[in-house]
């Protein structure tokens, strides 16, 4: 019995697809919802997240931060938002203690504190692990990420994502037109056989006037072909999220992606320095953003009250010196061990708001810039490829109408994954019925 590559690929595609179907339906539907995570989360969590708009200006963010610390002195809150949108609460996150620090600090029964920006009153806290209506979208997220099973679910979905990635290539191959058998090739025919592309073209089409089986067959083939690129991105980036031990070495071999340890070490290096004032004046005095000259030997030049304004100005200056513009300030945090303030921001050349964001770090005592990391521009080719994969998966693309359009596209991709899974199961079921009938007739 000779080996048949196409039949073997079909068998693998069919039964691995069946094994993955339920998982892909879950992740497809939840992925559709997560494309609009922030918008839906605001609806479910409106009692905490939204406030009535007032004519007066909101209190300074530093003052709101002080009120949170006074209300919960036993927990650490090292980060602050850089701005507060109209009709929105100010949100402060509890620091996540890791390693030895986690043993010495009490674990907070919540992750976020919501503060009224006009009065400074604590509206409430949010424990995203709690089963509650206002946490609906976070439960959807964890269902999507690990099936609400923790590390076991994460590993399981990582394996599913890896098989799905391989299946992308197998499924693509199976859409190719069948090769002629040797007997048929030997037969002479007056009519010349159509080209490969002409014979492949029907796989890209959906026949509207057909029976249910043909419709499902066409949907399965056409969706898989037209959306192949983004489906591969979603599948392989899922391996990156859930099965890093496989993703990392493959990406390192293909695009030169560094390990996380290497990237953290590189990010700590003073990659860019902003121009400082010259001579002894810089060593003793710095002009702060409020136009006051401060003696750096007696007080911090950068403190909580002026940190956002000071670092924002420095970030704008650093970006402009490289021909870039700051599009959005993402957040600021205090690094107590090093006595530094760090601001994360997004330039017009950055992609995403997570690993691809830029940052600037300044010394609180002197106001001098310790390092500037332009997230995308400072990255290696491997890191850029990794950033694109994760950003396309999570939908952190563009702004305004461009972002909205990509959200809609990503939501449709989630539905397409669901359709591919359902049609795949349907085709197997109908094929199984046909095979059973054929066996019964042969008896």
Instruction: Give percent helix, percent strand, percent coil of the chain, each to the nearest 5.
Output: 55, 10, 35
Q: Tokens in use for 222?
A: 């056409």
Cα distance between residue 228 and residue 119, in whole Å: 52
* pLDDT winner (highest mean) among 70-84, 257-271, 366-380: 70-84
Q: Can you list the positions of beta strands (E) in 107-246?
A: 112-115, 122-126
Counting Cβ atoms within 10 Å, is residue 337 exposed (0-12), middle (13-18) or buried (19+)? exposed
The band of 105, judged by pLDDT with boundaries at 50, 70 and 90, is confident
184: left (phi over 0), alpha (psi -120 to 50) or beta: alpha
Is residue 117 within 8 Å of residue 3, measured between CB atoms?
no
The band of 191, judged by pLDDT with boundaries at 50, 70 and 90, is low
Cα distance between residue 360 and residue 332, in whole Å: 10
What's the confidence (pLDDT) of residue 281? Answer: 36
Question: Could you tell me the end-to-end alpha-carbon distance of the chain, in angstroms, rounded to an integer?
Answer: 24
**Residue with more model confidence, 48 or 287:** 48
Percent of the chain whose predicted confidence (pLDDT) is above 90:
72
Give the H/E segment covering residue 414.
helix 400-442
Give tens-digit pLDDT for 424-442: 999 999 989 988 888 888 6
Is residue 233 within 8 Å of residue 392, measured between CB atoms?
yes
For 61, 284, 311, 338, 365, the CA distances from 306, given in Å and listed in that order, are 10, 19, 8, 18, 13
Question: What mean pLDDT is predicted for residues 146-166?
Answer: 97
- Backbone angles phi and psi of 212, in degrees to 5: -65, -40
Does pLDDT of 273 surpass 50?
no
Question: What mean pLDDT is predicted for residues 1-27?
Answer: 92
Is residue 91 within 8 Å of residue 113, measured between CB atoms?
yes
What's the confidence (pLDDT) of residue 377? Answer: 83
Is residue 17 within 8 Å of residue 431, measured between CB atoms?
no
What's the confidence (pLDDT) of residue 268? Answer: 55
**Residue with more model confidence, 336 or 103:** 336
User: What average pLDDT does the structure give for the chain?
Assistant: 88
Q: Tokens in use for 6?
A: 């196409």
The band of 146, judged by pLDDT with boundaries at 50, 70 and 90, is very high
Cα distance between residue 330 and residue 342, in whole Å: 11
What's the confidence (pLDDT) of residue 283? Answer: 41
Cα distance between residue 407 and residue 400, in whole Å: 11
Q: Tokens in use for 20?
A: 């993955």
Give tens-digit pLDDT for 292-347: 555 545 578 999 999 999 999 999 999 999 999 999 999 999 999 999 999 999 99
**Residue with more model confidence, 192 or 363:** 363
Does pLDDT of 287 surpass 60?
no
What angle in degrees, to the nearest 10, is found between the helix axes of 228-242 and 151-174? 150
What's the confidence (pLDDT) of residue 351? Answer: 86
Question: Which residue, 331, 373, 332, 333, is CA-closest to 353?
Answer: 331
Cα distance between residue 199 and residue 218, in whole Å: 15
């Amino acid at each position: 019995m000779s080996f048949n590559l196409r039949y073997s690929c079909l068998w693998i595609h069919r039964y691995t697809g069946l094994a993955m179907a339920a998982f892909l339906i879950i992740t497809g539907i939840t992925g559709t919802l997560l494309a609009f995570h922030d918008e839906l989360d605001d609806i479910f969590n409106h009692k905490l997240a939204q406030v009535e708009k007032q004519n007066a200006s909101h209190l300074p963010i530093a003052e709101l931060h002080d009120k949170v610390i006074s209300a919960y002195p036993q927990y650490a809150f090292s980060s602050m938002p850089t701005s507060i949108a109209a009709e929105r609460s100010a949100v402060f996150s509890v620091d996540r203690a890791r390693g030895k620090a986690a043993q010495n600090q009490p674990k907070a029964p919540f992750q976020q504190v919501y503060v009224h920006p006009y009065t400074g009153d604590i509206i409430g806290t949010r424990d995203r692990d709690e089963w509650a209506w206002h946490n609906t979208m976070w439960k959807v997220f964890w269902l999507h990420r690990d099936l609400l099973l923790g590390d076991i679910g994460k590993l399981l979905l990582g394996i599913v994502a890896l098989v799905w990635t391989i299946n992308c290539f197998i499924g693509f191959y199976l859409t190719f037109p069948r090769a002629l058998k040797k007997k048929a090739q030997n037969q002479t025919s007056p009519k010349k056989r159509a080209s490969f592309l002409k014979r492949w073209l029907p796989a890209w089409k959906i026949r509207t006037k057909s029976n249910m089986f043909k419709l499902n067959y066409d949907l399965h083939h056409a969706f898989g072909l037209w959306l192949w690129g983004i489906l591969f991105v979603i599948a392989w980036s899922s391996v990156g999220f859930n099965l890093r031990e496989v993703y990392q070495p493959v990406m390192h071999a293909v695009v030169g992606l560094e390990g996380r340890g290497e990237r953290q070490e590189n990010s700590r290096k003073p990659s860019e320095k902003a121009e400082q004032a010259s001579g002894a004046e810089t060593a003793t005095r710095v002009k702060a953003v409020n136009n006051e000259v401060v003696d750096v030997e007696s007080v911090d030049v950068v403190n909580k009250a002026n940190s956002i304004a000071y670092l924002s100005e420095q970030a704008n200056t650093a970006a402009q010196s490289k021909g870039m513009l700051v599009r959005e300030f993402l957040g600021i945090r205090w690094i107590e061990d090093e006595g530094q303030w760090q601001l994360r921001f997004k330039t017009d050349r950055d992609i995403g708001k997570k690993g691809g964001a830029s940052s600037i770090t300044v010394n609180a005592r002197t106001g001098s810039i310790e390092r500037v990391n332009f997230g995308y521009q400072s990255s290696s080719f491997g890191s850029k490829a990794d950033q694109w994969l994760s950003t396309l998966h999570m939908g952190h693309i563009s702004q305004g109408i461009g972002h909205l359009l990509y959200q809609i596209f990503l939501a449709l991709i989630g539905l397409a994954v669901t359709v591919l899974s359902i049609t795949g199961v349907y085709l197997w079921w109908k094929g199984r019925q046909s095979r059973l009938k054929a066996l019964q007739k042969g008896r």
